[in-house]
Structure 1
């Protein structure tokens, strides 16, 4: 079983501007697994698990799991997430002529269960819904932060 979560957003910016904003958001500057710090990442080079092409970036994360305490309701449950960001020209002539780009964010989430974990279907379903909500919230925040950077750059350009 897997969950496929995707979003599409038309943005009034060029593919190059959107690509730069997306790259800066995900490369690690002031960001580490969703937490913000004042210092920037020291090594911003690409690694073996990052693929960059003219139209796509691929991010593969490690397994995320909750606290393994025996009294925890989701002990022994976790998930693996694989995310993609695609930036492309819209198919609508109106949006294409208006200088828009389409930002597509996709995540494939695979819930995982440790063999020794004896959880019932209700608990596994609740964890799956929890994981889905976390991924959707993270994607929404990332998309909003990318939009905010683009809007700030546009306002700075006008002044």
Structure 2
């Protein structure tokens, strides 16, 4: 594990958090267009897609999205989803969080701002990262929306130092009733859009490193969506059983 940045944010840290904060409300505004483009907005059945696309203006972009039906009401589902993504991610399998530092930048019951170190494992491959993260919840009349923006700086990958490679992540979750109007069954729709950025040259094999890192991140995030859905459902089922006792 590499030491995470200290509690005193550097100038670069402040610039990164300013960028994340300015982007979080933009994520909320663009959510419907994103879900319309990838089909989640019209999706009613269980589904999962993970893909890498190459865009002429944005370069390489990963998009991972999933739709899951949760047999619980919106308020109960929304609280479990927020508790998981805002406060319980350190229980995720194949991930080790260290030196977590909650930051009091616009923090509230509906906004969490933090910085932490993260080790991820996928098969026999390990990655060590420094992460800056903002997540925010919006409770609307007919749905609950959770959005986040994350900057992930790669420290080490497969025991090789990897300075200057970072991933910019935008995440979206919508909890809403299906078009049938049922209130005891919710759709949980999740989308990650992740783009690698290179800030300094890493030698002649940099293209290989970025490609391998991208595959690693895509696989890890795809697995984390499945794990998150299962953990949230387990919490909801456990709560329902306790109420029934």
- Pairwise TM-score range, normalised by the shorter structure: 0.7 to 0.9
For normalisation by structure 2, the TM-score amounts to: 0.52
Match of 1:25 among 61, 81, 84: 84
| 1:101 to 2:186 alignment | yes
For these two proteins, the number of residue pairs brought into alignment is 151
Deviation (angstroms), 1:80: 2.2
The residue aligned with 1:7 is 66
Map 1:101-140; keep pairs closer than 5 Å. Answer: 101-118=186-203, 119=205, 121-140=207-226
Question: Which of 135, 147, 160 is 1:58 aligned to?
Answer: 147
- Contact 2:163–2:200 (8 Å) recurs in 1: no
Bigger relative contact order, structure 1 or 2, given CA contacts below 8 A and separation 6+?
1
Give the 3-state SS of the residue equivalent to 2:234 in structure 1: helix
> Is the Cα–Cα contact under 8 Å of residues 58 and 85 in structure 1 kept in the other structure?
yes
RMSD: 3.1
Structure-2 separation of matches of 1:108 and 1:144: 21
Tell me by how many angstroms 1:101 deviates: 0.1
1:149 to 225, 229, 235: 235
Residues in 1 aligned to 2:69 and 2:190: alpha-carbon distance in whole angstroms: 12
Task: Tell me the SS of whatever aligns to 2:90.
Answer: coil
Runs (4+) of structure 1 moved beyond 4 Å? 32-37, 73-76
Query: Are 1:15 and 1:89, in contact at CA under 8 Å, matched by a contact in 2?
Result: yes
Judged with a 3 Å threshold, the aligned counterparts in structure 2 of structure 1 residues 133 and 66 are, in CA distance, closer, same or farther, namely: farther
Structure 1's unaligned 5+ residue stretches are none
How far residue 88 of structure 1 moved from its aligned partner, in angstroms, is: 0.9
Question: 1:107: how far off?
Answer: 0.7
Q: Relative to total residues, which structure has the larger strand share, 1 or 2?
A: 2
Please give the residue correspondences for 1:63-102 in structure 2 after superposition, counting only pairs within 5 Å. Answer: 63-67=152-156, 72=160, 76-91=164-179, 93=180, 96-97=181-182, 99-102=184-187
